[in-house]
Structure 1
C-alpha cells in the first residue's frame, strides 16, 4: 500500500493542511458537542430500493450504532489496516460502517451498487479484502449471489433481512465494548493511515484503486466548505453514492465540518429528490448537470416543488451550461457552484465569491484559490497546479493555450494501490500527477477553463477541437435534452464532428437547428457538428458521466449499418 513518505508528511503538516484528526475523531467531537442534534436521515423510499424503515438518527444514536458495528467487526477478526470491500446503497448503515472502520483503523473500499462479477473480481484481486460487505436486498441486484462465488477465503458480511448461511449479519450482530476498547487502546489510528481505497470510474481491464488517508480527505474539505458557504448545523442532501470524491470529499466532509444533518438519497429519482428538498429543508445539495438542466426546463415539476430552503447546489462531472447556471440564479435565487474533482485528489471549486458572473462560473475555476487551513493560521492553496503541453515542454503561462493539468499537494494521493507501473505512468519524474485533463489559463491568469480530456480531443484538419466546449453550449438548446460530441473518422480531414442527442420532444432535431444555435453563440464554423445521431438516452457510467467512447462506438455501428 502506498503511503506518504516522511518528507511529504512533514511538509504537509508544516503547511497546516495535515494534522492528527481522523474521521472517527471528527465524528466523536460532533457527537459529544451535539448528541441530540439530528445527524443522519434515510431516503423516504428506502424500503423500495433496499430494505427496512427509513432511519432518522441523532448524533448519539448514530454513535451507538457506530460502536456496535465496530465491536462486531473486532469480534469477527477485522483489525487495523484490514480492507473491507463494501457494496451498499446510500443507507444509514453505510455511513455507520465508515465510521466504525475509522474507529478500528480498517480500510473501506466502496464499490458501486451497479457493479457485477467482472468489476468485483478485478477489485478483489487488487485490494485483497478481508471481508465483503453488502445488503441482502437491493432493487434490481443480487449482491450476495454475484459476490459469493468470488469470496474464496473472504468473509461475507451483510445488512438486511434473511442473511445467507455463514454470513455475519451486521444488522443484528452485538458489539463487544470491552474488546473494542482494548483494540482501540492497542492500535491507535494515525491521520496519515489509509482510510479508503476508492476506484477510478473506468471499468475496462483491472480497475485502479486510489488509497486516501484521513488527512487527504480533510485537506480537500476546505475548498468545498467555503465555496458552498456551509454553516454550522446545515442540512445537506446527498444524492451521490458514497463511493467517490463528490460524496465523500464534498457532502460528507462538509457534514463533518459543520456538525450538520446529512440527508441520504439513492438511486436518483427526481420526484423523491424534490420531495426531500421540500420536507427536509436542506441548505445545499449536489446534482449532476443533466439533472439540473432537466429540472430548470421542466416548469411543471419545479412548480410542484419547494426549493426555497436551498442556498447552493454544487454540480460537476461534466461541463455546466451557462444558461443553466444563470437560470437557477435568476429564476430561483440558487447559486450553482462549479466543481471539478477526482478520487486521486483533484479539487477545483468555483463559488459565487470566486466568480459572481454565472455565465463565467459555468466554465472557470480559481487558479490560485486559497482557503483556511485546518491546522494553521491564515489561508493558503490546498493544491499546486501547472499546465504542460500534451507533447511535453515548459509550463504554459499565457492565456488561451491548452495544456494538460498537472497537480501536487496535500489533497493528492500517493499512487495506485498495488499498481506500481500505473503509478509510474501517472506521475512525472519531478512528482506531479498527470490528470489527463486539458485546461487553459483565462481571465488574465486568475482562472483555469476546462477544455477537455486529452484523449477525447477531436483533431479536424490538424486543428484541436474540444467536444466538451460544444456540449457545454448545447446544454442550453431548447430542443435538446442531452447532447454529446465526438469524433468521426474522415479520409480527407482526419476526423469530423459527430453529435449524439436526445430530443426534448418527440420530433427529430435537424442539423440546421443545431448549427444555427451554435452560430448564434459565435462558435467557430470549423467546430460545428457535421452529422447527428438520435439516441433514446446517452450511456452513462456509475458516476453519471456520459461515456463518450461508448457513444462514439454506437454511432459508428449505425454508420456501418447504413453503408
Structure 2
C-alpha cells in the first residue's frame, strides 16, 4: 500500500481536542478524519469536486475528504464572481461544489453539497496512487482565463517533506496563519503541511496582528502585507518573540519590514519562493543565513538554473524536480510552452543566484503578473472583466508599487459615460474582490505598437 499523504490523520499520538483550529472552531485530528470520511463517502467516484474554500473547518474537511477518496480537489475563492466561478467549474469538469454555506453560492450549473464538520463516517478506501491528481489549482493567467494546474499527490508530499526538513518543522510545532485556503500558501503549506507533519494548526480567520499575537505559535506563515501590518503594531510584534520561525512568501518582503520584524521579534524572517505549477521550490533554511531580498536555496529534490543571462548573472529562473505539476488541464500546447526542450520549467521570473547558492528574485519577465497583498493576479483576467462593461472600449491593467500591498492594481481604460467607482465595483462583481482595480485612469487611447499590441511601459505615470 502507498504511504498516506496525510499520515498524522491516522496517528493517535499527539492528537488533542484543538489539534486543528480554524476561525475559532476546533477539532481533533480524529474528528477531522471522521468529518472527511463523511465527505469522501458522498463524493467517491466524482471526476473532480470544487470546494468553496472559505476559512472554516468545513473547507478543511472537504479538501481532506477529496484527498481520501482520490477525487481531484478544485479550491474556489469564496468571493469569486460568476464569470470566474463559471470558468473554473466548467474547465475543471467538477461534478459537485462543496460548501459550508449553500446560500452563499448561487450556482445553477452544478450540484451544491452542504458540508457539516460535525458529520462522522469511516472511510475504508485504499490510499490512491501517488501519481494521481490531488488538486487542480487555477493560475492567474497573464493573457486570459486562468489555467488549471494538475498537481499530483507525489508533488505535494515531496514539497511538504522538503519544507519540513528545511524549516525543521515537526509535530512539536504550532503553525499559525490566517491566509486564504484556495492557493498553495494557505492550503497546501498551511493546512496539508500541518496534517502531514502532525503539528498543531491555528488558522486565525483574518490575519490581523492581534490574532497572530494571541495564537502563541512556534511557526508563522504570512504574506508581506500581513508582516508589514504586524511590524506597524509593535506590541503585537513583540508577542511573536517566542516563535522560532516567521515565514514570508507569495511576494517579495520589503527590506524595511524585514528589519522591523527582526528588531521587534528578535529574529529575522525567512523567505521562500514558489508558483502554483511548482509549489515551493526555494526557501531560506531555519538554520541558514537570512537576508532581505533573498529567498534561500532549492529545497531537497529541486534543481535550479539561470537561463538567458547576459553576463550580469541575471536571467530567467528555470527549475526541475519532484514538486512540479504534470501539466495544464486540457491545454497541451500551454503545457509544452512552459517547459524548455530539455525539460526544465520556465518560471517567467528573473533571478540571480549568488556564489553560496542563495537566490534573489529580481522581477517578472512580463508586466502582466501582479502580486498584490500576497495574491498573484493576472492582468489579462482583469482586462477581460473590464472589457465586458459596455462602456469600455480598451483596457490595460498593471501593478504599481504600493507600500502595504506590494503592488496595487491600476487600470487604464478608454471608456465613455462611466466613472471609476462603477468600473471598480463591476470587476469586483465579476471576479474575486481582491482582483478589483484600486485605481482607474481614463485615456483617449492606449499606446500601441505597429502590431496593435498595447505598450504598457508607455502608459502615463509608469
Are residue 363 (structure 1) and residue 319 (structure 2) matched? Answer: no
The aligned counterpart of 2:325 is: 413
The aligned counterpart of 2:65 is: 100
* Equivalent position to 2:28, from 43, 46, 58: 58
CA contact (8 A) 1:102 1:195 kept: yes
Mapping 1:497-536, distance limit 5 Å: 501=402
| Deviations 1:197-238 (CA, angstroms, capped at 9, x unpaired) | 111134873321111121101111134323433232311113
* Equivalent position to 1:69, from 39, 45, 59: 39
Distance in 1 separating the partners of 2:175 and 2:16: 18
Q: 1:499 to 1:28 in 2, by over 3 A?
A: closer
Q: 1:555 to 1:503 in 2, by over 3 A?
A: farther
The aligned counterpart of 2:77 is: 112
Q: 1:288 to 1:543 in 2, by over 3 A?
A: farther
The aligned counterpart of 1:350 is: 284
The aligned counterpart of 1:434 is: 346
Are residue 125 (structure 1) and residue 82 (structure 2) matched? Answer: no
Q: Which TM-score applies when normalising by structure 2?
A: 0.76
* Equivalent position to 1:281, from 201, 216, 236: 216
Higher percent of residues as helix? 1
Task: Give structure 1 stretches of 5+ with no counterpart.
Answer: 1-18, 45-54, 160-169, 371-380, 390-395, 458-466, 472-496, 505-536
* Equivalent position to 2:251, from 312, 315, 318: 318
Distance in 1 separating the partners of 2:460 and 2:14: 65
Larger radius of gyration: 1
Distance in 2 separating the partners of 1:97 and 1:210: 19
Quote the offset at 1:311 in angstroms. Answer: 2.2
* Equivalent position to 1:404, from 306, 312, 316: 316
Are residue 20 (structure 1) and residue 34 (structure 2) matched? Answer: no
Q: 1:331 to 1:156 in 2, by over 3 A?
A: closer
* Equivalent position to 2:302, from 383, 386, 397: 383
Q: 1:172 to 1:355 in 2, by over 3 A?
A: closer
Mapping 1:190-209, distance limit 5 Å: 190-202=129-141, 205-209=144-148
Quote the offset at 1:286 in angstroms. Answer: 1.2
Q: 1:57 to 1:331 in 2, by over 3 A?
A: same
* Equivalent position to 2:114, from 151, 158, 173: 158
- Give SS of 2:257's match: helix
- Give SS of 2:271's match: strand
Q: 1:57 to 1:116 in 2, by over 3 A?
A: same
Are residue 42 (structure 1) and residue 22 (structure 2) matched? Answer: yes
* Equivalent position to 1:83, from 42, 48, 55: 48
CA contact (8 A) 2:239 2:265 kept: no
Task: Give structure 2 stretches of 5+ with no counterpart.
Answer: 373-397, 406-423, 447-458
Q: 1:448 to 1:556 in 2, by over 3 A?
A: farther
Q: 1:190 to 1:42 in 2, by over 3 A?
A: same
CA contact (8 A) 1:439 1:449 kept: yes
Q: Which TM-score applies when normalising by structure 1?
A: 0.63
Are residue 250 (structure 1) and residue 189 (structure 2) matched? Answer: yes
The alignment of Structure 1 onto Structure 2 pairs a total of residues equal to 400
Quote the offset at 1:503 in angstroms. Answer: 9.4
Quote the offset at 1:558 in angstroms. Answer: 11
